[in-house]
Amino acid sequence: MRISVFGAGYVGLVTAACFAEVGHHVVCCDKDTSKIALLRAGKVPFFEPGLSELVANGVRSARLEFTADAASAVSGARVAVLAVGTPPLADGSTDLRQIHGVADEIRGHVRQTLTVLVKSTVPVGTNESLTKVFAGTPVNVISNPEFLREGSAVADGLKPDRIIVGARTDADRDLIRELYEPFARNHEKLMFMTPESAELVKYGANSMLATRISFMNELAEYATRIGADIEDVRRGMGADPRIGSSYLYPGIGFGGSCFPKDLRSLEFQMGQHDVDPKIITSVIARNERQIEVVVDAILGAITSQPKPVVVLWGVAFKPNTDDIREAPALKVAQLLLDRGVEVRAADPIVSQAQIDEVIGKGRLSLVESEMKAAEGADVLVLVTEWRQYRSPDFDELRTLMRGSTLIDGRNQWSRRQVTAAGFTYVGIGRS
């Protein structure tokens, strides 16, 4: 099947590469000509494990092409996938200018029967508004939200656990079955519903996961006050099959391009329909509170130091990505910098240029290695649980640091090992 994918970001590029990998012919279109030039040269403009190899396979097989020309992307396509950005506006609502802009472009070039697949996360009702954009053309609009996790997006794309489809006709459902047949050979993964339900599934899923995280962080703060250990509590709760262990890990809070944006969008959408989003609002507030919890722990450890130095291990919002959107590390850094604290950071993927764009040039220095970053530091905070940070040489670390406080923001380290090396251990909800 010939497919055009509009948008060469995380969702669009992964989607295009996965469709090409299973035999479809894919043209990926993006207005950013510099990005298209990089992709044609075999370079992926962001870090995602396994994606470079997948893109290279697609280009080598001639099943994956890149263009900045919307007309050529639409020409001959049977399916057009919309995977452009839907960023938040100041009031929490969703900016749909990109997705409506792409729809207008497609409308201007389409000459054949075409199915438009909406992959971007969009508010409920977007399918209906796009259907009106295409009124009078041979275009059908299907809602097909993505569930790609940064850091494991390729695996999620090639082996999805479910495929949510909001389609109105039998013909649309038949087309989807043909499109996704290579991904569903082992068992049925397609779940058909109305477009409105499909749009809400994405917001509901992300909000539920974020709720579990915020709840555990709130429980962790209480555990600290009463002398309980949240790790024991987490294991006991997770052993209940009705609860399970996923997303029960307390920490510094969630970030990234999805959870914060989607929660605010759902909060706004519910308010527009006179539903008081009490739980969603509380989840957002608790996540913001978690940054304050960590900053308070840091400040409490440096009260006697006139020129304190704090080092953060990890800048990306999660491991195996270079994405720093809504990254907890940068929120912690900003609050510390505003108080005159010197802050350094280490991260195996994130660049200094990325940090400067958010924090400002010359404010937060990125050091080439985590151990070098720790030299002379009063407090070290584990922010992102990169694999190489799981088992550091604590004895060596003690000789490098000026201070003796380690804040384990992901509860990854052994208190026994940390204290044996002469450190004060501070975890999240650890007694």
297-336 core/surface letters (b: 16 or more CB in 10 A; e: else): bbbebbeeeeebbbbbbbbbbbbbbbbbbbbbbbbbbbbb
Q: Which of 307, 316, 361, 356 is nearest to 336 (CA)?
A: 307
Rg (CA), the chain: 23
Q: 26 with 64: CB under 8 angstroms?
A: yes
Q: Which of 352, 375, 376 is nearest to 364 (CA)?
A: 352
Q: Is 28 a catalytic residue?
A: no
Full 3-state SS string of 249-317: CCCCCCCCCCHHHHHHHHHHHHHHCCCCCHHHHHHHHHHHHHHHHHHHHHHHHCCCCCCCEEEEECCCC
Q: Which of 283, 277, 318 is nearest to 211 (CA)?
A: 283
Q: Which of 117, 267, 262, 161 is nearest to 203 (CA)?
A: 262
Q: Which amino acid is at 301?
A: A
Query: Tokens 């990005």 identify what position?
Result: 35
Q: 73 with 110: CB under 8 angstroms?
A: no
Q: 119 with 82: CB under 8 angstroms?
A: yes
Question: Which residues make beta-bridge pairs with 381?
Answer: 312, 407
Q: What is the DSSP letter of 85?
A: -
CA 170 to each of CA 140, 145, 176, 334: distance values in angstroms, whole numbers, following the listed order? 12, 19, 10, 52
Q: 402 with 376: CB under 8 angstroms?
A: yes
Query: Tokens 């990089």 identify what position?
Result: 38
Q: Which residues contact 259 (CB under 8 A, 6 or more apart)?
A: 206, 209, 210, 326
Q: Whole-angstrom Cα distance, residue 42 to residue 208?
A: 37
18, 28, 29, 258: the catalytic one is 258
Residues marked active site are found at: 258
